[in-house]
Structure 1
Amino acid sequence: MSVYATELFTGKTVLITGASSGIGRAFAQRAAAHGARLVLVARRAAVLAELATELQTRHDSQVHVIPCDLAIPGAGTQLHDEVVAAGLEVDILVNNAGVGAHGDLVAARAADVVAQIQLNVTALAELTTLFLPAMTARRQGTVINIASTAAFQAIPHMAVYGATKAFVLSFTRALWAETKATGVRVIAVCPGATDTEFFDIAGEAASVGRRRSPGDVVDTALRALHRHRPSVVDGISNAAVAMISPRLPARVAIGAAERSVRPTAG
């Protein structure tokens, strides 16, 4: 896997959203270890600063920290403008920031639903649209969009989250085809349950199956990028479920998904 990481990251500038923890942090650590310059984006400035210090100390990395809440409309454009103003040329964009809520829509706050869509869908599409033209002009670059196994079927009790990840998967696969002749690589990475802070918000009932590590997800992404795949599911059992679910009758697939994340009593 180090060969793939060296090929992808060495000498490149990598912008990672949601970089303060989980999969984003794992991407940052891997990229720094293989000689990348980093632009780390997340809401928590103090946590980002600690991570930047760690990477600078351990790997002598160049790290630019931009605290930013991408759930705020227009934040993606502001982030892009700040990166350009700093003279940074992004070679690899990792759209990792995302959030999921567990519970029925009838009990949700409309503002929370809108913020979830803004972060998971709008900011991702906004950043991709803003950074892609410079990549295609240079005829090189990489866009890694973090989707989810939730993208492959409707998820009762997580209806908005599943729908946002279905957008990410479809959007990214289409973009893969659009960019095939441009020298830019594009991929949607679909983790299942992963050992991250995601479940601090979504709750334990939203976790299905054995959790894989953020490092596992990075490994899967690197392998699939090397093979020029439009999308990849992390983990053999997750891949099997993702393959089978769309082939089942809709009522069967939805019913199975509902039972797997049904809120626990009490």
Structure 2
Amino acid sequence: MSTALVTGATAGIGREFCEQLAAKGEDLVLVARDAARLERVADELRERHGVAVEVLVADLSDRAQLQRVADRLGEADRPVDVLVNNAGYGLATPFAQSEIADEERLLDVLVRAVLVLSHSAARAMTTRGHGRIINVSSVAGYLAGGPYSAAKAYVTTLTESLSGQLRGTGVTATAVCPGYVVTEFHERAGIDHGARSGPLWLDAADLVREALADAERGRAVSVPSAQYKAIATALRHLPRGVVRRATTRSPRGGR
């Protein structure tokens, strides 16, 4: 029996990762800030899938709490075989009007937490000779859209680099780059995207299904859906000046 640790596990993409991993028979370690919600989700997953579910309450912007999650990943007697770095959020306030403390917390969750947890997982997994690291990035990382885009560009590049360094160890690293996804992400960020329907809005279940398949194949980057594969390819090849001009306002959260 293998175990997966998922951050941001109680809602949206993270919750869907938990559902699909549990359906495959994976035991789970759920990481999020809301203890009551964690316990509720854990109970539902245990009842529905018959797997063992551990809860770990942690605010990943707090270094001490983040380290507790990193320490859990490093436990040799309770190995974690799959890490899903999914926790994240966006800010609706334009960069020049935002509080720098809010920007720093965003960076801690989107960048530093991914760095620390990927490092802990990679070290433990390479010692055992197997494992998967899945870092949820975003197509926003190909844009010029402020700190969120910059953070997601970091996550994608870090994961691609890690994927190459891990080649031959039995451990893989995959950056998942979704576009708009029908979750509570934008609502919680205070970002208005209207009806959240149409060809650019993805279903979380379809996204996670494709992401897990790509991770199992060992792909360094997974861009779920044909439409976003086309968009990501275009963004990677367009001149950066064109991309900058096309980004008319900072997309403070793209998934």
Taking a change above 3 Å as real, the CA distance of residues 259 and 122 of structure 1, as seen in their structure-2 partners, is closer
Matches within 5 A, 1:184-195: 184-195=171-182
8 A Cα contact 1:140 1:184, kept in partner: yes
Separation in 2 of the partners of 1:61 and 1:111? 39
Residue 198, structure 1, aligned to residue 185, structure 2: yes
Taking a change above 3 Å as real, the CA distance of residues 130 and 121 of structure 1, as seen in their structure-2 partners, is same
Identity level (%): 37
Query: What amino acid sits opposite 2:101 in the alignment?
Result: A
SS in 1 for 2:205: helix
Residue 141, structure 1, aligned to residue 131, structure 2: yes
Separation in 1 of the partners of 2:32 and 2:12? 12
Separation in 1 of the partners of 2:186 and 2:127? 39
SS in 2 for 1:65: strand
Separation in 2 of the partners of 1:249 and 1:240? 16
8 A Cα contact 1:205 1:261, kept in partner: no
- Counterpart in the other structure of 2:218: 228
Matches within 5 A, 1:207-222: 210-222=200-212
CA RMSD of aligned residues (A): 2.1
Residue 33, structure 1, aligned to residue 33, structure 2: no
Q: Output one character per residue of 1:141-177: Cα deviation in whole Å (capped at 9) or x when no partner.
A: 000000000011211xxx1100000000000000000
Q: 1:13: how far off?
A: 0.5
SS in 1 for 2:78: coil
Partner of residue 181 from structure 1, selected from 165, 168, 193: 168
Residue 121, structure 1, aligned to residue 119, structure 2: no
Q: 1:76: how far off?
A: 2.1
Gaps of 5+ in 2: none
8 A Cα contact 1:75 1:123, kept in partner: no
Separation in 2 of the partners of 1:163 and 1:47? 30
Separation in 1 of the partners of 2:106 and 2:190? 12
Separation in 2 of the partners of 1:49 and 1:107? 37
Partner of residue 71 from structure 1, selected from 61, 78, 93: 61
8 A Cα contact 1:32 1:59, kept in partner: yes
Q: 1:60: how far off?
A: 1.2
Taking a change above 3 Å as real, the CA distance of residues 119 and 191 of structure 1, as seen in their structure-2 partners, is same
Partner of residue 243 from structure 2, selected from 240, 253, 256: 253
Q: 1:87: how far off?
A: 4.5
Taking a change above 3 Å as real, the CA distance of residues 117 and 259 of structure 1, as seen in their structure-2 partners, is closer
Q: 1:187: how far off?
A: 0.3
Segment of structure 1 superposing worse, 246-255 or 229-238: 246-255
SS in 2 for 1:191: coil
Aligned length: 249
- Counterpart in the other structure of 2:155: 168
Partner of residue 108 from structure 1, selected from 98, 115, 128: 98
